[in-house]
Amino acid sequence: MSDEFIKVATGEINDELSGISIILDSCQNDDDVSKNSDKIEKHMHNIKGLAPMMGKESIGNLAKTLDSILKKIISGHRVDGFLEPLSLSIDQMKTAMTKPHDLGQIHKTVSDISSKFEEK
């Protein structure tokens, strides 16, 4: 993997995370997240694909789980209490882009939300 690819990919992921942050800044509650879920999912989908290719598997795995939840929301499912873990996920992903950062706890929190869909 070339240094140029890493540089470009890092810029793209950071842009995607910034795009999500801008959307989340306008969200006050889970209903606002639902209304913007299609826009957020497009950004998340790009992160899901790009992060593992540049060696950021933990970011890619978290993005994959978040992308799955967002797709459920887009298809009409209601997810209560998602705004806070989503916002925290984005903040932690931003940190993980610049320095080693354990995403295990936030991924567990998000996975617990995702598993509620499997139970139904």
Q: Hey, what long-range contacts does 33-40 have (CB within 8 A, 24 or more apart)?
A: 33/73, 33/79, 33/82, 33/83, 33/86, 34/73, 34/78, 34/79, 37/70, 37/73, 37/74, 38/74, 40/70, 40/86
pLDDT score, position 104: 97
Spell out the domain ranges in the chain.
3-115
Instruction: Give the Cα separation of 97 and 51 in Å (integer).
Output: 9
* pLDDT tens, position by position, 25-83: 999 999 999 999 999 999 999 999 999 999 999 999 999 999 999 999 999 999 999 99
- Give the pLDDT band (50/70/90) at residue 100: very high
Choose the CATH number for 3-115 among 1.10.10, 1.20.120, 1.10.150, 3.40.390. Answer: 1.20.120
